[in-house]
Structure 1
Amino acid sequence: MDAQLLNKLQQTHTAVWNEKDRATRDAMMQTIYADDITMYDKDSILTGNTAVSDFIDKLFAGDANFNFTVTKPMESTQNGARLYWDIRTGPQPNVLTGMDFFIVENEKVAHLFVFMDA
């Protein structure tokens, strides 16, 4: 995976997870996520951009201070990439950390695995 694609994925993925306006977020998602993206986390499997955007809406509804930040530059191998992040929530910052692992097909994220640290 070339550096230009990695940079685009990192910048847009971060912007998507911080965007509160649904229409803006959905437009950004279409530039890097496959229409039938599958997102996996410990509690659920979501399919499609609408389901992922609904999930992000729920995060904002639960905490208006939600902020997704990259902690290490994205790294890739073949058609996979990983991105380490933290999420700050609440008026008194509570920090959650984790990693997203992407499987990229045709220059779009087909699968997104979300790992949250304990």
Structure 2
Amino acid sequence: MPHSVADLMRRNLLDVFNEPDPERRSAAIAQTYAEDVVWHEPDRVVHGRAALAERATELRAQAPDWTFRTDGPVSVTDDLGHLGFRYGPADQPPVVTGMDIAHCKDGVIIELYTLVTGSPQPS
């Protein structure tokens, strides 16, 4: 059963990037993204589900006690979804804020853009 754009946006943030268990994260990736998904991060472009899974694992390892939280509701226009996020240690103010914008087709994300809108200023 295909997922709605709003569901895909929440799954992307919470079921993939917040999931500490590699098997559950892998299952969520298979259900959320096209095999040839393209993910645009601020500093790189990742191609394909396998590379996205590897990158998600790297991000989890960099800050294992940090969590993503939604920042507002999902916005949907046709096949595009937008969801703001806050990222940082659980139960503390966010260290990073940003948004994900996704182009969806046939119930999966085919292209994802992650934009960072706020982060710590260097001292």
Q: TM-score, normalised by structure 2?
A: 0.83
Aligned residues: 115
Residue 65 of structure 1 is matched in structure 2 by 65
Any unmatched runs of 5+ in structure 2? 119-123
The 1:86/1:92 distance shift into structure 2, 3 A limit, reads: closer
Matched letter for residue 5 of structure 1? S
Which one has the bigger helix percentage?
1
Secondary structure, counterpart of 1:81 in structure 2: strand
Percent identical residues: 23
CA–CA separation in structure 2 for the residues paired with 1:90 and 1:79: 32
Which residue number in structure 2 is paired with residue 111 of structure 1? 111
Give, as a single letter, the amino acid of the residue that structure 2 aligns with 1:36.
Answer: D
> Displacement of 1:65 after TM fit?
0.9
Does structure 1 retain, via aligned residues, the 8 Å contact 2:101–2:114? yes
Give the TM-score, by structure 1 length: 0.86
In the other structure, the counterpart of 1:79 is 79
**Per the alignment, do residues 90 and 28 of structure 1 end up closer, same or farther by CA in structure 2, a change over 3 Å counting?**
closer
Structure 1 CA distance for aligned equivalents of residues 36 and 5 of structure 2: 20
Task: Identify which of structures 1 and 2 has the higher relative contact order when contacts are C-alpha pairs closer than 8 Å and 6+ apart.
Answer: 2
Which SS does the other structure have where 1:117 is aligned? strand
Pair 1:96–1:34, CA change in 2 (3 A): same
Name the residue aligned to 1:9. Answer: 8
The runs of 4+ residues in structure 1 deviating greater than 4 Å are 90-94
- The CA distance in 2 between the partners of 1:79 and 1:94, in whole Å, is 29
